[in-house]
Chains A and B, each alone.
Chain A
């Protein structure tokens, strides 16, 4: 393998689509080393494919520069870049057979016929489809078309191979096989791969380096281990693997309060800092009642083969646990997390998050209070039918028991009042800190959920307050169980 110098560098890439002004990619920076397997990972619409298309040359960045081997390629059309792409739905030419498809790029380069034949044969061997030269594209299975698409790109010996969700159309078993094969091909050929996927497991399996993206922004760049073990923010933690995510506040040196308890941790932030705590389900230990940091009731137990997935409710907080030990629904248990396994990160915006329930009338409820908003407004494309049930954009009926609504509201938008019945929920002030022009409070509620509230006035520790939360300041996200 060649030395590990930088092969491609993206500097401050921003892409705004002219027709609708949508900012698909925002200030994207990345260096890729020669021979690396880099994956852009994120949900659909996060800008990963757009970034790939700018590297390929199909889209032109609004701002920023792309350097290939130190030289800008911004002005080069796709056909002059030493980069080839494996397209999402393969994009094989239906009017050509396998041989002509693979030879397309070579013929474009005016390579002599006998050499083309040799190269096509060799690359077909690489993708395990020897002797398929004369086959028509329509006669190939999805998996075979996929291999031909890879062969068609690889035969040109590109400096960089771009793969745009190439396994998306394959079934699970085939996908797993192709993941390993692609990884092997990468190791054997030493070509730089840039891979786009929304499948976190795929990214973790194959990549040397993962770029997690959301809403056009880079959330974290790191090795699969880094990304999994040390997620940079709540988005990454939530997107990669399963996580319990809590809002909280630092309450002292290496001490953090979240999920209704005070936990010891290893990340040091100043006291009073708003934090997001992430705990992986496999890192929560179940203890005897009162022997752990917090207590809760076992809400559900699901057998998953190698482990049980146990959901414990501690007040309103829901904690998902993966363990090899069984538990009984309804048991009162204690929960403990080793300090090493609590990942504390600065809360990005101190947003309060809580789950609202859907009552059988398809109205939103929290703490027994009705939230005055319409479900059809919250869920894009949903409709209320005549019988009162609500269907989503796909026409599926929402089942109240299987749907939860994640509500978020900013600390500035919550107001505290002495009138205990006026607010949505009551609690006691468990923490306060002066922030220069306002106080930041943590309200510990009866449902074991903590709220962060900003207020200009001084309240006292231990004050009982009721929280006023205007519905028009809330944002709602649909979560399916």
Chain B
């Protein structure tokens, strides 16, 4: 039998069909049908009319937004200092930031819970704050890494060129480094914002009773309402797609640098 290089792709193609394409089809099917298997747009209209769903969407959005901002504000300076210093221990320090990713997730969050418990006394008192702290802690490496990669890949001569042309350190940062690190920021944001909207496991583990989109889908499924849950998932998927399309253009505009970072 002739063995072609294309054959190497078969295992993944099978995987793709079973675990990506098929579930997606089911998702579409369930989202636009009712319990009797008839086509309906009711799930869709329900999403935008049910105050409960909209409230959860709004609340998840707020948590994700604040989490992303906090991550960005902490990660950018860290990544910038790390990428522009000529520390010999650069990679070691970077690893320290990345290492939490290698420690089991539930262990980390449990540890965090204990710490917060000591500080706050009762975790139920600050659900929003705890949600943000937990998610920031969990997603921070995903923000640092792409920004670090983008900045460290920037040609040092560009900063020197800006200084050479009369820009001081601050102006150089604002006019050259920051605009050119936008692709990294976009990558980081997309890797933090959307998971932060749905990752309810973090909240559950922090004994947090707050409902976010993920928990909402979970509760629909728990009640065997595949149709409502599928529609919510589909709408979130659509939001991800729109976001990716928009930011994809943004990356092209920034010179096509650092496109696929992670």
| Interface positions of A (Cβ within 8 A of B) | 19, 56-58, 77-79, 83-85, 87-89, 91-95, 104-105, 108-109, 137-138, 152-153, 156
Contact = CB atoms under 8 A, between A and B. Distances in A.
A138 to B, nearest CB: 7
B86 interface: yes
B256 A138 contact: yes
A78 B172 CA distance: 12
Contact of B165 (A57, A95, A104): A104
B185 to A, nearest CB: 13
28 contacts: A57-B163, A58-B163, A77-B163, A79-B164, A79-B165, A79-B166, A79-B167, A84-B164, A85-B160, A85-B161, A85-B164, A87-B157, A87-B160, A87-B161, A88-B157, A89-B155, A92-B161, A93-B158, A93-B180, A94-B180, A94-B257, A95-B254, A104-B175, A105-B165, A105-B166, A108-B166, A108-B167, A109-B166
B161 A79 contact: no
B162 interface: yes
A152 B157 contact: no
B256 A91 contact: no
Nearest to B257: A94
Interface in B141-191: 155, 157-158, 160-168, 171, 175-176, 179-180
A99 to B, nearest CB: 14
Nearest to B163: A78
Interface of B: 86, 88, 155, 157-158, 160-168, 171, 175-176, 179-180, 253-257
Contacts of B176: 93
A152 B163 CA distance: 13
Contacts of B254: 94-95
B180 A78 contact: no
Nearest to B159: A91
A57 to B, nearest CB: 8
Contacts of A156: 165-166
A197 to B, nearest CB: 17
A138 B254 CA distance: 11
B180 A84 contact: no
A95 B251 CA distance: 10
| Interchain residue pairs A-B with the least CB separation, the first 4 | A94-B255, A105-B165, A108-B166, A91-B157
A78 B171 contact: no
A79 B255 CA distance: 26
A85 B176 CA distance: 17
Nearest to A102: B165
Contacts of A87: 157, 160-161
A101 to B, nearest CB: 9
A152 B175 CA distance: 16
B181 to A, nearest CB: 10
A19 B88 contact: yes
A16 B235 CA distance: 61
A125 to B, nearest CB: 20
Contacts of A83: 164
Nearest to A89: B157
A78 B175 CA distance: 16
Given A85-B161, A94-B180, 6 more contacts: A77-B168, A93-B162, A95-B179, A105-B165, A153-B164, A156-B166
A84 B168 CA distance: 14
Nearest to A84: B164
Given A19-B88, A91-B160, A95-B255, A108 B155 contact: no
Contacts of B179: 95
B157 A138 contact: no
A396 to B, nearest CB: 29
Nearest to A58: B160
From A84, A91, A138, residue with most partner B Cβ within 10 Å: A91
A84 B167 CA distance: 12
B250 to A, nearest CB: 11
A252 B162 CA distance: 61
Nearest to B161: A91
B155 A152 contact: no
A346 B161 CA distance: 44
Nearest to B176: A93
A78 B160 contact: yes
Nearest to A78: B163
A36 to B, nearest CB: 21
Contact of B155 (A19, A58, A91): A91
A92 B162 CA distance: 9
Contact of A104 (B86, B157, B162): B162
Contacts of B256: 138
Contacts of B157: 87-89, 91
Contacts of B164: 56, 58, 78-79, 83-85, 153
B33 to A, nearest CB: 48
Contacts of B166: 79, 105, 108-109, 156
Contacts of A109: 166
B161 to A, nearest CB: 4
Contacts of B88: 19
Nearest to A92: B161
A91 B157 CA distance: 6
A273 B159 CA distance: 53
Contact of A79 (B155, B168, B253, B257): B168
From B155, B165, B180, B254, residue with most partner A Cβ within 10 Å: B165
B165 A108 contact: yes
B176 to A, nearest CB: 6
Nearest to B154: A94
A58 to B, nearest CB: 5
B169 to A, nearest CB: 8
A449 to B, nearest CB: 48
B57 to A, nearest CB: 35
Nearest to A87: B157
A138 B167 CA distance: 23
A88 B164 CA distance: 14
From B86, B166, B175, residue with most partner A Cβ within 10 Å: B166
B180 A95 contact: yes
A89 B156 CA distance: 11
A159 to B, nearest CB: 13
A239 to B, nearest CB: 27
From B88, B163, B176, B253, residue with most partner A Cβ within 10 Å: B163
Contacts of B160: 56, 58, 78, 85, 87, 91
Nearest to B182: A95
Contacts of A89: 155, 157
Contacts of B162: 93, 104
A91 B180 CA distance: 13
A180 to B, nearest CB: 25
A95 B161 CA distance: 14
